[in-house]
Structure 1
Amino acid sequence: MHFFRLFFRCFIFVVLTILTQIGGMAYLLSLFATRVMGMSRFSARILVFLLFYAAATFLANMAAPAFGRVPLSCFAGEGDKMMVRSALYCALNRNYVTPRMRDLVAALSEDMDEKFPGTTTVVLDGNFPFIDGFPLLPHLSHADGRKLDIAFYYKDADGYFVDGVTRSPIGYFAFEQPRAGDEQPCEGRKDIITTRWNFDWLQPFFPSYRIEEQRTGFALQWLSTVGAKQFGLEKIFVEPHLRNALAASGETIRFQGCRAARHDDHIHIQVR
């Protein structure tokens, strides 16, 4: 029984650390606190953990700049032109980037709204607050604060732009499927070890929004020109069929490879 309890606690520690980076440590501290205070009720233990986790998240916001990272705010105001897609990203500490990346996405969102008034730029996964090389699963490269995913801009079934909305509730896995004749470098491959998941069973559950071509195309072109020149952007990952459809060009626009996740549900950017 004792061994099972120890194994279970180790498992919880590992899972929380993988998911949030700081959650495992908050869990250990909560175990110590509840033992000292003699708390045995499950609800009390959960509450203590949540308090420790909230405190750790707050302290991470304060301490991250010392490690070269800053949080993107999940509390967008009325006048803000950029928003994190879901508070879940902040709750899991996945909203951290370098100051250069923060400045880049802020400038992109301002220029997008100037070009297309009433446009909000939606961002997705960034990085954890601490330690270069700590993996942000399931991503292969979000481990140093220099990477950020940006959602596509969408229009509804009638062709009208929908602001601050994505097809997927979290911004991922709602793919823009290539058409017959489109460039598909991974067609026919059957890699065993891969994160290029298609989730065909999931696609019918998403609304019938489609990419808003003008805004998404402008964003890609802005990133490959202004972003590269002024903010040190060095890589943009997007699927070839979308790059072609949006007439986006530039040496920074690349294909991520066939073992990495699909990039026809979001745009991945990276700065130096």
Structure 2
Amino acid sequence: MLKFIGHILAVLTLTVLTQLGGIAWLLALAFRRRFIAFVGLYLALSISALWVAPMFGRTPLPCLSGGAFQMQSVMYCALNRQYVVPELQDVVQTFAADMERAHPGTKTQVLDANFPFVTGFPLLPHLSHHDGRKVDLAFYYANDSGYLPSTTRSPIGYFAFEDGPSDCPDATVSLRWDMAGLQGFFPDHVLEPRRMTTALQLLVSDARIGKVFIEPHLKARFNARSDKIRFQGCRAARHDDHIHIQL
């Protein structure tokens, strides 16, 4: 019974994290060397998704890109979280190229996007990344020597928050984590103001983008006045560690 429960938990966990991992685990149960079989099956399913997902309206963002944009970590590709609809892929590519043109040497880094299949399938812990029309972008950072390309304060691009005023009340249960215990471990990089200002201007100027989520104190800090730039609300995760865009 405990073994059965363990398999159920493994399937649920792998499905939540990667969408395809639960299927790979179930198939691996038919093999004697289960873990090796799981790794092989998961790789096969993930690689197949690169070609199959476009048939269902989603396309993978390139994981090994040497151009103006890149996935912030190969982890997002390993977990199948780099998929978007073709229109959003073009938005990201255009935005990154425009950023590099405005500030030569700029690298735009992509964080969580969406899973390859099934509209409505949740990409936790996000509340809205379920249709291929949303993607998160990393902030642009600098130190005393200047702009830091391909760099984020956090190893995964999330949870290194920029402190600022908030009207959200303290809540016992909330996705608005402070992660206070982690903040001291992150390097003291600062937001690169020219690139952050340009990024927000470019994003709101693209007619294909419907909303941009960022914390109000950062909207004010970088003088972003567009109504497209919104506060995501007190019940959602903080957006002073990344920029969320959606069609």
**TM, length-normalised to structure 2:** 0.98
SS in 1 for 2:180: coil
2:204 aligned with 1:224: yes
Distance 2:190 2:117 in 1: 36
The amino acid that maps onto 1:72 is L
SS in 1 for 2:210: strand
Fraction of identical pairs, as percent: 49
2:35 aligned with 1:46: yes
Cα pair 1:123 1:148 within 8 Å, conserved = yes
How many aligned residue pairs are there? 247
Map 1:137-152 → 2, pairs under 5 A? 137-152=124-139
Determine the structure 1 residue equivalent to 2:19.
21
Aligned with residue 193 of structure 1, among 173, 180, 200 = 173
Determine the structure 1 residue equivalent to 2:101.
114
Map 1:136-215 → 2, pairs under 5 A? 136-156=123-143, 158=144, 160-178=146-164, 182=165, 184-186=166-168, 189-215=169-195
Distance 1:8 1:15 in 2: 10
Structure 2: which 5+ residue stretches go unaligned?
A: none
* Runs of 4+ more than 3 Å apart: none
Aligned with residue 52 of structure 2, among 44, 50, 63 = 63
Distance 2:86 2:225 in 1: 26
SS in 2 for 1:29: helix
Alignment RMSD (CA, Å):
0.9
Distance 1:212 1:67 in 2: 38
SS in 2 for 1:83: strand
Distance 1:69 1:194 in 2: 31
Distance 1:100 1:217 in 2: 24
Cα pair 1:191 1:259 within 8 Å, conserved = no
Return the index of the structure with the highest Cα Rg.
1
Cα pair 1:224 1:249 within 8 Å, conserved = no
Distance 1:66 1:166 in 2: 34
Distance 1:142 1:193 in 2: 21
SS in 2 for 1:53: helix
Determine the structure 2 residue equivalent to 1:99.
86
Structure 1: which 5+ residue stretches go unaligned?
A: none
The amino acid that maps onto 2:216 is P
Shift of 1:47: 1.2
